């Protein structure tokens, strides 16, 4: 986990999944870490003051296949239409 905020449920990125970087700014959740997608020698990876105060040295997130995503979705339990079911989300449900 890249950020302590992840444990609070701010894991909405379907690409980054458990490796999402989120933070709280001006009463809103902000998702950071997009510089991971840049080439290694891109000048923005080194810029820290212009972004979040850190240089970006992480690898780009793993890319999931369509079959892997469908398999993950098949494990989700949805409430019947029109019903509200309150239950704790298992840790395997990343998004």
Per-residue buried b or exposed e for 33-51, using 16+ beta carbons within 10 Å of the residue's own CB: bebbeeeeeeeebeeeeee
How far is residue 81's CA from residue 8's CA, in Å, rounded to a whole number? 27
pLDDT top residue among 77 and 1: 77
Geometric angle at alpha carbon 31, from 29 and 32, rounded to 5°: 135
32-81 pLDDT per residue, tens: 778 888 898 999 998 888 887 888 888 887 888 889 888 888 887 777 77
Global model pTM greater than 0.75: no
pLDDT at 95: 54
2-42 pLDDT per residue, tens: 444 444 566 666 677 777 777 777 888 777 778 888 898 99
């Amino acid at each position: 986990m890249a950020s302590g905020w992840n444990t609070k449920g701010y894991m909405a990125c379907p690409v980054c999944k458990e490796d999402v970087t989120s933070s709280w700014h001006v009463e809103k959740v902000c998702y950071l870490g997009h510089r991971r997608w840049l080439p290694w020698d891109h000048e923005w990876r080194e810029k820290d003051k212009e972004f979040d105060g850190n240089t970006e040295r992480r690898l780009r997130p793993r890319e999931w296949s369509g079959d892997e995503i469908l398999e993950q979705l098949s494990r989700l339990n949805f409430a019947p239409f029109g019903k509200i079911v309150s239950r704790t989300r298992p840790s395997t449900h990343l998004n």
